[in-house]
Amino acid sequence: MSTVRVLVGTRKGAFTLTSDGKRERWEVGGPHFAGWEIYHLKGSPADPNRLYASQSSSWFGQVLQRSDDGGNTWEAVGNQFQYDGVTGTHKWYDGSQHPWEFARVWHLEPSLDDPDIVYAGVEDAAMFRTVDGGQTWREFSGLRTHDTGPSWQPGAGGLCLHTIVLDPSNPERIFAAISAAGAFRSDDAGNSWRPVNRGLRSEGIPDPDAEVGHCVHRLAMHPSRPNVLFMQKHWDVMRSDDAGESWREISGDLPTDFGFAIDVHAHEPDTVYVVPITSDSHHFVPDGKLRVYRSRAGGDEWEPLTKGLPQSNCYVNVLRDAMATDSLDSCGVYFGTSGGQVYASADAGDSWAPIVRDLPAVLSVEVQTLP
C-alpha cells in the first residue's frame, strides 16, 4: 500500500507526518532543526528520499539542508546565494530605491527529473539554481535585472520570490511569482523572463493594471494541463488559460477573495482549493470559521468545506506555501495554520481531521505520495 509523507515547515523547526494510504493514523517526526525557521522543505519527484529544506534565522542567516534518506538524517549544504553581477536597487516601502539584499530562501522547487537540480526562490526577489545537489547556487540574473526590477516593491513579508512552477511538458518553461511584482515566465529555462500579468487589477498600486507591481500570493498548475494556471492574488482569485498571457477573475461567490494558498486536485484539473482570509489587515479566516472553498468548475462557483474544521472562535491564517495535495485515489488535501494545526482530508476535502494540533506556526506544507 502507498504511504504518504507530509513535510511541514514551521517557525521553529520542521516536522514529518507519515501515514499509510488510509491516512487515518499518523506518525509525527521532529522537530528537525529545532529553533530555526523552516520556510519550506520539499522532496525531489525523481528521488523521493532526496529532500531539501530552507533553514533560516534572523540571527544566523540562511542554511540549506539536504537529506538522502527521506528526512531521517540531514546534511548542511551550500548556503552562499550571491547575486550575479551588479546588484542594483528596487523600490523600498517608502518609495526610495534600496539595494538588493539577500535575506532568505522562501521556496525550493526540485527538478522534475534530476534530484541534484533545485530551483530556489529568495528574498530579495531572485531565482537561483543548483545542479550539484545544493552544494553551489547560481542566480538566474535575467529575472532580477529585468527592466522593471527597480520598480518592484516589497509586500508586507518582504520582496520575495515565493512561487516556482515547472512546466512538465516543456523543460524550457518556468513560472515564478514575486510579492509585490507579479507573475513572470521564462521560455528559455530561466535565462530570460517577462512579466505575465495582463488582466490583473490591483487597487493598491497607482496604475491598477500595470505591467508589474501586483502582489501575487501563489500560483498553481495541474501537470496534465500546464497552460492553465490558477492564482491567489492579494485580493482576487484568478485563472489563465494561456500560460499567463492573460488572466480573468474567478473569485465568483467566495466570501472574500483575499487569501494566500491555492492548489489543484491531483486528478481533476478543474477542482481548485482556496482558503479565504478576511482581509489584508486581518489575516485570519472570516467569521471565526475555518473553511476551505472548493470549485469543481475551475473557478467562479465555490462550495465551503467545513466538516471537521472549527466553525467558531477560529482566527488562524493559512500561508501561501501551506497547502498541498497527495496523488492517491481519492485525492488527499492538506493545509497548515498559523495556530500550528495541520489538517488532512482523505476524501478531496469533503471531511477533515487534524493530524497535529499544536505545532509552531506553520509556514509550509508539502506532500509526498510514496509507493
Partner 1 sequence: MIRVVLPHNLRTLAGVGREVQVEVAGTATQRSVLDALEADYPPLRGTIRDVATQRRRPLVRFFACEEDLSDESPDSPLPDAVAAGNEPYLIIGAMAGG
- Residues 53-72 touching partner 1, rule: CB under 8 A, are 57-63
Grid cell, residue 158, equals: 518582504
Task: Decide: is 82 part of the binding site for partner 1 (CB under 8 A).
Answer: yes
**What is the Cα–Cα distance from 107 to 91, expressed in whole angstroms?**
22
What is the nearest approach in angstroms of partner 1 to the Cβ of residue 292? Answer: 32
31 versus 115: smaller Cβ distance to partner 1: 31
For partner 1, which residue of 20, 76, 191, 350 counts as binding (CB under 8 A)?
Answer: 76
Q: How many C-beta atoms lie closer than 10 Å to residue 273's C-beta? A: 26
Greatest CA separation for the chain? 57
Task: Decide: is 86 part of the binding site for partner 1 (CB under 8 A).
Answer: no
The answer to whether 274 touches 237, Cβ cutoff 8 Å, is: yes
**What is the Cα–Cα distance from 316 to 173, expressed in whole angstroms?**
35
33 versus 335: smaller Cβ distance to partner 1: 33
What is the nearest approach in angstroms of partner 1 to the Cβ of residue 64? Answer: 10
Backbone angles phi, psi at 287, to 5 degrees: 60, 20
What is the nearest approach in angstroms of partner 1 to the Cβ of residue 63? Answer: 6
The answer to whether 356 touches 350, Cβ cutoff 8 Å, is: no
76 versus 189: smaller Cβ distance to partner 1: 76
Grid cell, residue 184, equals: 513572470
61 versus 171: smaller Cβ distance to partner 1: 61
123 versus 167: smaller Cβ distance to partner 1: 123
Range list of β-strands (E), 234-315? 237-240, 248-249, 262-264, 272-274, 292-295, 303-305
What is the nearest approach in angstroms of partner 1 to the Cβ of residue 142? Answer: 22
Question: Reduced to 3 states, what is the DSSP secondary structure of residue 317?
Answer: coil
Nearest to 17 by CA among 279, 359, 361: 359
For partner 1, which residue of 5, 14, 19, 36 counts as binding (CB under 8 A)?
Answer: 36
Task: Decide: is 33 part of the binding site for partner 1 (CB under 8 A).
Answer: yes
Applying CB under 8 A, the span of 30-38, 117-125, 188-196, 357-365 interacting with partner 1 comes to 30-38
For partner 1, which residue of 20, 69, 72, 80 counts as binding (CB under 8 A)?
Answer: 80
33 versus 334: smaller Cβ distance to partner 1: 33
Nearest to 132 by CA among 73, 193, 52: 52
What is the nearest approach in angstroms of partner 1 to the Cβ of residue 85? Answer: 14
13 versus 332: smaller Cβ distance to partner 1: 13
Task: Decide: is 99 part of the binding site for partner 1 (CB under 8 A).
Answer: no
Backbone angles phi, psi at 213, to 5 degrees: 115, 0
For partner 1, which residue of 24, 34, 189, 224 counts as binding (CB under 8 A)?
Answer: 34
**What is the Cα–Cα distance from 320 to 162, expressed in whole angstroms?**
8
Which residues bind to partner 1, rule: CB under 8 A? 33-36, 57-63, 76, 79-80, 82
